[in-house]
Amino acid sequence: MAGAQKNAGLWSNFEIGRGRRLGPVLLAAALGLGACAEESPRDPVRGTAVSHGIETQPERQARMTGRAGREEGIDPRFAGAAVADEPAAALVARQVLEQGGNATDAATAIYFALSVTYPAAAGLGGGGICLVHGAGEKTVETVSFLAASPRGGGNAAIPGNVRGFAYIHSRYGKAAWSSVVAPAERLAATGSSVSRASAAQLAVASKIVEASPSLSNVFAPQGRLAAERDVLTQLELSSTLGQIRARGAPGFYAGPVARRLVEGARSGGGAFDESELADYRPAVAAAQSVEQGPMKVWLPSAGIEAGAFAAQLWQEGGKPAAELTTAADAVAARLGTSPQPGVNYGSTSFAAMDRNGGAVACAVTMNGLFGTARLAGDTGVVLAANPASGAGDASAWLSPLILTGQSGEIVRLAAAGAGAPRGAAAAQHVARNFTSPEAAESAFNAGIADLASPVNAVGCPEGANASSCLLASNPAGFGMGVTAISTAR
Return the pLDDT at 318: 77
Render 1-57 in DSSP notation, one character per residue: --S-PPP----EEEETTTTPPPPHHHHHHHTT----TTS-SS-SSTT-HHHHT---H
Residue-wise pLDDT for 80-89, tens only, equals 999 999 999 9
> At what angle are helices 235-247 and 255-267 packed, to 10 degrees?
140
Of 18, 33, 8, 32, residue with least CA distance to 485: 18
Residue-wise pLDDT for 336-391, tens only, equals 998 988 899 999 999 999 999 999 999 999 999 999 999 999 999 999 999 997 67
Longest dimension (CA), the chain: 64
Of 40, 47, 46, 36, residue with least CA distance to 5: 36
Return the pLDDT at 338: 87
pLDDT of residue 32 exceeding 70: no
Residue 20 in domain: no
Residue 395 in domain: yes
Residue 278 in domain: yes
How far is it, in rounded angstroms, from Cα 479 to Cα 472? Answer: 9
| Mean pLDDT, rounded, for 386-402 | 91
| Mean pLDDT, rounded, for 8-35 | 33
**Under a CB-based contact definition with an 8 Å cutoff, are residues 297 and 434 in contact?**
no
Residue 74 in domain: no
Residue 38 in domain: no
**Under a CB-based contact definition with an 8 Å cutoff, are residues 10 and 26 in contact?**
yes
Return the pLDDT at 436: 84
How far is it, in rounded angstroms, from Cα 282 to Cα 244? Answer: 17
Residue 486 in domain: no
pLDDT of residue 452 exceeding 50: yes
pLDDT of residue 20 exceeding 70: no
pLDDT band at 464 (very low <50, low <70, confident <90, very high): low
pLDDT band at 467 (very low <50, low <70, confident <90, very high): low
Residue-averaged pLDDT of the chain:
85
For the chain, the domain total comes to 1
| Mean pLDDT, rounded, for 447-465 | 89
Total-model pTM: 0.87
pLDDT band at 487 (very low <50, low <70, confident <90, very high): low
Return the pLDDT at 66: 45
| Mean pLDDT, rounded, for 237-244 | 98
pLDDT of residue 288 exceeding 50: yes
pLDDT of residue 269 exceeding 90: yes
Residue 53 in domain: no
| Mean pLDDT, rounded, for 160-184 | 98
Return the pLDDT at 465: 58
Parent domain of 445:
102-476
Return the pLDDT at 78: 87
Of 422, 419, 430, residue with least CA distance to 471: 430
pLDDT band at 57 (very low <50, low <70, confident <90, very high): very low
Residue-wise pLDDT for 197-240, tens only, equals 999 999 999 999 999 999 999 999 989 999 999 999 999 999 99
Residue 348 in domain: yes
